[in-house]
A and B are shown apart, each in its own frame.
Chain A
Amino acid sequence: MHELAVTEDLLRIITDHAERGAATRVTDIYLVIGELSSFVDDSIQFYFDTLSSGTIAEGAQLHFERIKTRFRCRACGEEFEPQERDWRCPSCQALGGDVIAGKEFYVETIDVIS
């Protein structure tokens, strides 16, 4: 369950930013998570509810923006979303490409009350 390690890090980051912004409470947390980073939303929220208890972020709601994997074709430069069992470029049929989206894994913003 690597979501535990992730959630600990998440709490550290938002506490840091909230305190720097002289906030008294964090109400919402907006995360951007790429498909390739394989993290389970519910699991992060579950750990978060436990770990944030008694902190500035207690009761905060997590919001997940999921980013689909996108390839850039190495043959023709076309950018496309690979299908589950078909990685061919829709324009030139070359297989695969460089991953240009889907590996995101960051906290974008938080909503705080001062």
Chain B
Amino acid sequence: MSTSEKVSSTPRRVPVVETLLTANEEVAADNRAQFAAHHVKVINIMASPGAGKTTLLLSTIAAMAEHNIGVIEGDVASQVDADKIATTGVPVVQINTGGACHLDAPMIRHGVEALPLDELDVVFIENVGNLICPVSFDLGQSYNIGLISVPEGHDKPYKYPGIFEAVDLVVVTKSDLLPYLDFEVDTFRELVHGLNPRAQVLVLSAKTGEGVDAWVNWVRERL
């Protein structure tokens, strides 16, 4: 606390009514305009750490060989995920947030400079593994996707309503584990739709390939 000074006049109230994070939103709007100018769709993937974002991306890249894909990897630290994506040959940019729990619009603006946007149909952004913070930061994406893996439990929408309210599609991953765990797909779907009726819910396993077609079709239909 700073030292309080002798106050000679009475404070007066000034109306502000200004939304926070507008600076980020302005950059996000620029990003969106830039993506539109290059005719590239941008899909922002949000999920907990370990939900299977990178694994799903690898399957997606393999299944969409006819399209030109770019990837932006967001992590607090390391190049691990970008290295995995780079093995497929698609252009990839690793953004390290240096401790921040989310990507923001200026990071994306800088990151896309290293991608050949004119040659790409779609850019997948793998956001930092976190179900809370990324939701508050618009990146200029065309679509928001939420991934949730079967081990996380079907009651996740009760605990993290913000993300389920903000997404255009929810993908349940690791469906090969359904026989072993108590994840009730119908209950989960009901909760997601209770909050967000426009979000489709897809269930898949990148490991067995089951359900991956429906996801890839969802992406294709939007390009």
Instruction: Check A105 against B20 for contact (C-beta < 8 Å).
Output: yes
Q: With contacts A38-B132, A109-B16 known, is A9 near B22, CB below 8 A? A: yes
Chain B residues closer than 8 Å to A66, beta-carbon distance:
none
Q: With contacts A2-B102, A38-B133, A95-B194 known, is A12 near B162, CB below 8 A? A: no
Q: With contacts A1-B101, A109-B13, A113-B11 known, is A9 near B23, CB below 8 A? A: yes
Task: Count A/B pairs, Cβ under 8 Å.
Answer: 116
Which among A5, A18, A113 has the highest number of chain B CB atoms within 10 Å?
A5
Chain A residues closer than 8 Å to B22, beta-carbon distance:
9, 13
- Does chain B have a CB within 8 A of A68? no
- Does chain A have a CB within 8 A of B104? yes
Chain A residues closer than 8 Å to B17, beta-carbon distance:
106-109
- Does chain A have a CB within 8 A of B152? no
Q: How many residues of B contact A (CB 8 A)?
A: 44
Which among A2, A36, A74, A114 has the highest number of chain B CB atoms within 10 Å?
A2
- Does chain B have a CB within 8 A of A87? yes
With both chains docked as a complex, state the minimum distance between the C-beta of B171 and any C-beta of chain A, in angstroms.
20
Q: How many residues of A contact B (CB 8 A)?
A: 44
Q: With contacts A38-B162, A96-B193 known, is A21 near B14, CB below 8 A? A: yes
With both chains docked as a complex, state the minimum distance between the C-beta of B130 and any C-beta of chain A, in angstroms.
9
Interface residue from A5, A13, A25, A53 paired with B104 (Cβ < 8 Å): A5
Instruction: Check A85 against B21 for contact (C-beta < 8 Å).
Output: no
Interface residue from B2, B12, B21, B155 paired with A105 (Cβ < 8 Å): B21
Q: With contacts A95-B190, A96-B191 known, is A53 near B2, CB below 8 A? A: yes
Q: With contacts A95-B194, A96-B195, A106-B19 known, is A2 near B13, CB below 8 A? A: no
Closest to B4 in A: A59
**In the bound complex, how far is the Cα of B10 from the Cα of A23, in angstroms?**
12
Binding site for A on B (CB under 8 A): 1-5, 7-24, 99-102, 104, 132-133, 135-137, 155, 158, 161-162, 165, 190-191, 193-195, 197
12 CB-based A-B contacts, threshold 8 Å: A5-B100, A36-B165, A85-B158, A87-B194, A96-B193, A106-B20, A107-B16, A109-B16, A110-B14, A111-B14, A112-B12, A113-B7
